[in-house]
């Protein structure tokens, strides 16, 4: 009887642990695709989420209206931003303003150049599966199931002189990139040197800003408002993609920016030929 009692106790403990890990995602095996360049892509599951920010979120902009979005198909997203080493394997020369090494994100990339790189990658692998993420896919992956301003918590400060608890170990932004390592040496940093989000994606907040696929308009003359303007911020759209507008949307904050611009819902834009030393990209591989 004592043996069976111990066995039953061990069984319940094991069952509880399995249930805990399955619910939290801890210890779950990731579905990773590695391509010919050695780029790693993490599977992002299909699902739905609330895109945008609540009116109570500190730092929110007028164009972040909350709405429900449906992502109908799972997709693979680059584990990291495209690096200088990956760029050099397929395209030349390295356009980065910060030529710091192969593990650093490639910067000073225009939207047009990102699209060209993706074209080269599709040709290399004889496929058409690679593309930029849509704005909705990007925010969905950035949030990784979270509903707060950042994947790991709410906004508490926009200061560069004090840490934001939800970012300090996950993002290269003005506090971590310019005040700690070493002081006032603002620059991007090697990928995968901060902690990933719950879905195993690195640098979704900070390091370099990232181009997405969507176009946008930037000014509403009737409402006298400036900012990202699209027709996609409506409830229950499936796989939204804005194609109208002569600008392109960027997501994710940069290494020099405050926490305000690192928020999951933050949106900005440039013309597709624009280049900035804080601007790079990340790639989707469709299943």
Establish if 10 belongs to a structural domain.
no
Q: What is the reported pLDDT for 215?
A: 98
- Whole-angstrom distance, CA of residue 284 vs CA of residue 287: 9
Q: Which CATH number fits the domain that encloses residue 61?
A: 3.90.1580.10
Does residue 41 have a pLDDT over 90?
yes
Q: What is the reported pLDDT for 186?
A: 83
Does residue 20 have a pLDDT over 60?
no
Q: What is the pLDDT of residues 75-126, one digit of tens each?
A: 999 999 999 999 999 998 999 999 999 999 999 999 999 999 999 999 999 9
Tell me if 109 sits within 8 A of 120, measured CB to CB. no
Does residue 276 have a pLDDT over 80?
yes
Establish if 248 belongs to a structural domain.
yes
- The H or E element that residue 14 is part of is helix 2-24
Q: How confident is the model at residue 30 (pLDDT cuts 50, 70, 90)?
A: confident
What mean pLDDT, rounded, does the chain reach? 89
> Considering the chain, what percentage of its residues have pLDDT values greater than 70?
86
Kindly state the average pLDDT of the residues 193-202: 97
Q: What is the pLDDT of residues 45-64, one digit of tens each?
A: 999 999 999 999 999 999 99
Instruction: Measure CA of the first residue to CA of the last residue in the chain; give whole Å.
Output: 53
Q: What is the reported pLDDT for 243?
A: 97
- Whole-angstrom distance, CA of residue 4 vs CA of residue 232: 60
Establish if 148 belongs to a structural domain.
yes
Does residue 198 have a pLDDT over 60?
yes
Establish if 175 belongs to a structural domain.
yes
* Residues sharing a CB contact under 8 Å with residue 271, sequence separation 6 or more, in sequence order: 246, 247, 248
Does residue 151 have a pLDDT over 70?
yes
- The H or E element that residue 225 is part of is strand 225-229
Per residue in 170-204, is it b (16+ CB within 10 Å) or e — as a string? bbbbbbbbbbeeeeeeebbbbbeebebbebbbbbb
Q: What is the pLDDT of residues 215-262, one digit of tens each?
A: 999 987 666 788 999 999 999 999 999 999 999 999 999 999 999 999
Establish if 15 belongs to a structural domain.
no
Kindly state the average pLDDT of the residues 251-275: 97
> Considering the chain, what percentage of its residues have pLDDT values greater than 90?
82
Establish if 234 belongs to a structural domain.
yes
Q: What is the reported pLDDT for 29?
A: 62
Question: Strand pairing partners for 251?
Answer: 210
Q: How many domains does the chain have?
A: 1
Establish if 1 belongs to a structural domain.
no
Q: What is the reported pLDDT for 15?
A: 38
Q: What is the reported pLDDT for 254?
A: 96
Burial of 75 (0-12, 13-18, 19+ CB in 10 A): buried
Does residue 3 have a pLDDT over 70?
no
Sign of CA dihedral 79, 80, 82, 85: negative
Does residue 2 have a pLDDT over 50?
no
Q: What is the reported pLDDT for 179?
A: 64
Establish if 249 belongs to a structural domain.
yes
* Residue 212 domain boundaries: 31-286
Kindly state the average pLDDT of the residues 192-209: 97
């Amino acid at each position: 009887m004592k043996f069976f009692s111990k066995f039953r106790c061990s069984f319940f403990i094991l069952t509880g642990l399995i249930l805990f890990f399955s619910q939290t995602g801890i210890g779950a095996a990731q579905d990773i695709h590695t391509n010919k360049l050695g780029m790693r892509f993490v599977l992002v599951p299909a699902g739905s989420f609330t895109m945008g920010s609540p009116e109570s979120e500190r730092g929110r902009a007028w164009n972040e209206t909350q709405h429900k979005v449906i992502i109908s198909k799972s997709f693979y997203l680059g584990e990291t931003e495209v690096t200088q080493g990956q760029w050099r394997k397929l395209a030349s020369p390295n356009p980065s303003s910060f030529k710091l090494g192969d593990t650093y994100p490639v910067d000073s990339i225009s939207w047009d150049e990102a699209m060209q790189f993706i074209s080269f990658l599709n040709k290399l692998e004889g496929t058409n599966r690679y593309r930029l993420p849509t704005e909705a896919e990007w925010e969905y992956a950035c949030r990784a199931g979270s509903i707060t301003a950042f994947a790991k918590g709410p906004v508490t400060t926009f200061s560069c002189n004090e840490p934001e608890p939800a970012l300090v170990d996950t993002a290269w932004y003005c506090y971590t990139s310019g005040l700690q390592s070493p002081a006032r040496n603002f620059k991007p940093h090697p990928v995968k040197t901060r902690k990933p989000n719950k879905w195993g994606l690195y640098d979704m907040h900070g390091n370099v800003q990232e181009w997405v696929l969507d176009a946008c308009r930037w000014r509403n003359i009737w409402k006298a408002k400036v900012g990202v303007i699209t027709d996609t911020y409506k409830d229950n759209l499936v796989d939204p993609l804005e194609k109208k507008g002569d600008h392109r949307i960027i997501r994710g904050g940069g290494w020099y920016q405050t926490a305000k611009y690192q928020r999951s819902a933050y949106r900005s834009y440039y013309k597709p030929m624009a280049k900035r030393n804080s601007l790079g990209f990340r790639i989707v591989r469709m299943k």
